[in-house]
Amino acid sequence: MPSPKLSRRRALQLLGGSAAATLAGCTQPSAESSDADLVLWTFAATHYGWFKTMAADYEKQTGIRVAVRLIVGDLNAQLLIDLKAGGNGAPDLTDIEQGGFGSFLIGNSVPLVDLGPRLRAEGYDKQLVAARQALYSWKGAVYGVEHALTPVTLFYLREPWQKVGVDPATLHTWDDFFQAAGESFKNGVHAMPIPSHEIMLRQRGGDYFDADGNVAIDSELSIDTMEWMLDLENKRGVAIRPPGNADWVEISTNPTMWTAFRAGQLSCLVVPDWYAGFIPIEAADLAGKWRAAPIPAFEKGGRRTSCAGGTGLTILKHSKKQEAAWKFLKFSMLRVPAVVAEYKAINLWPAYIPAWSDPKMHDPVPFFGGQDIGTLYSEVGREVPAEYQNPFRPLLNQEISPRMLDVFQRKRKPRAVFHEIAEVVRARQRKGGSVG
């Protein structure tokens, strides 16, 4: 069986696993939340720690007390239960991971506050990367503010490439990159694990849904992208599929991959910023040996980044303190000092553009040989493609996971599999109602 797709929500839970275990009690009502002015939920221990700091600072400045609760487990499921019960027990603000966000868009009334009017009135809509805000937008409304840009870049070990006299940062197209890899690496040595289909498709301007809400996983662009990926392993021999994994590079749970990196059998990863956070954890002994660069483009002058994942902070409609919740959202998510503090605490490059030029965002990173990763993210940041939200994205993700392994094992053609998935989702769209 393929390992489950690693969402950003699950990744952040793993990155903060020990903290999550010690904070498990936060899933229960407490005196702290019962006498608080506002209650905020999050699913990640990393976010929990940062929000606690923000809440303490906010209380000192305003006297308003924000209780932050870590929901260990499925925050989305718990929140949906509470909302169906009339909002009893639900928070004023909550993080919602983009992969499950569509579940809150089904029905006659979205249970989240439309933040669009406030964002536009105060000029924040121009300060947030529009492509990232698409993740929390539906039918003209904006229901969340994104924590992270999730820019995808190329992380690579310098030594294998130095030995063959090639600098990956100078290879501007995928054709150039794989030609150099094919000429340089042989006898069981490969450039990388096969990247994510979603990442590659978005780099080319596609997605699993389009801007109008139509299913697009079976578009010609999506099929062609999948066939291109298969050729990397089958015909070119420059990339390999991680053992037991259908699509995504499960670097957090796949020690085989890290053994291959240490043995010089692999040298690159194509991953977003949050996923790269696993590298220092899983490969601490390779500190100083890694570098990062824009991913090569599909054509000369083309887009050299992509995106994957995301989490938005939202305000619940049931809250009787929506204006107070908005003020705390601004304090924690839409101020340069706060956003810089979040980057330092969580290592997620922000979608809030004014923070990009702050000097603290450009401190050298020792693990990556003293490289200024912030400058790289700033350079590719405005090219990050849109990732379109849809009420039926959770259903599509559910349908794609068990089928992708058949595609990678050449048991079924991408066209047939993607069309099958698309038809399941289209049928549910025509029917309407819940995807659960």
pLDDT in tens, 389-407: 999 999 999 999 889 888 9
pLDDT attached to residue 347: 85
- With cut-offs at 50, 70 and 90, classify the pLDDT of residue 32: low
CB 316 within 8 A of CB 104: no
Does this model's pTM top 0.75? My answer is: yes
- Report all structural domains of the chain as residue ranges with CATH numbers, in order of start: 8-149+308-355 (3.40.190.10), 152-306+391-431 (3.40.190.10)
DSSP for 85-150, please give it. Answer: TTTTT--SEEEEEHHHHGGGG-SSS-SB---HHHHHHTTGGGTB-HHHHGGGEETTEE--EES---
**What is the rounded end-to-end Cα distance, in angstroms, of the chain?**
23
What is the edge-to-edge ordering of all strands in the sheet holding 290-294?
268-272, 152-157, 290-294
pLDDT of 250 above 60:
no
Average pLDDT over residues 264-273: 91
pLDDT of 123 above 90:
yes
Identify any residues that bridge with 173 across adjacent strands, giving them in sequence order: 297
Q: What pLDDT digit, counting tens, does each position of 294-324 carry?
A: 999 999 999 999 999 899 999 999 999 999 9
Most confident of 149-158, 245-254, 396-405: 149-158
Distance in angstroms (rounded) separating the CA atoms of residues 198 and 365: 28
Average pLDDT over residues 365-375: 95
Average pLDDT over residues 355-379: 96
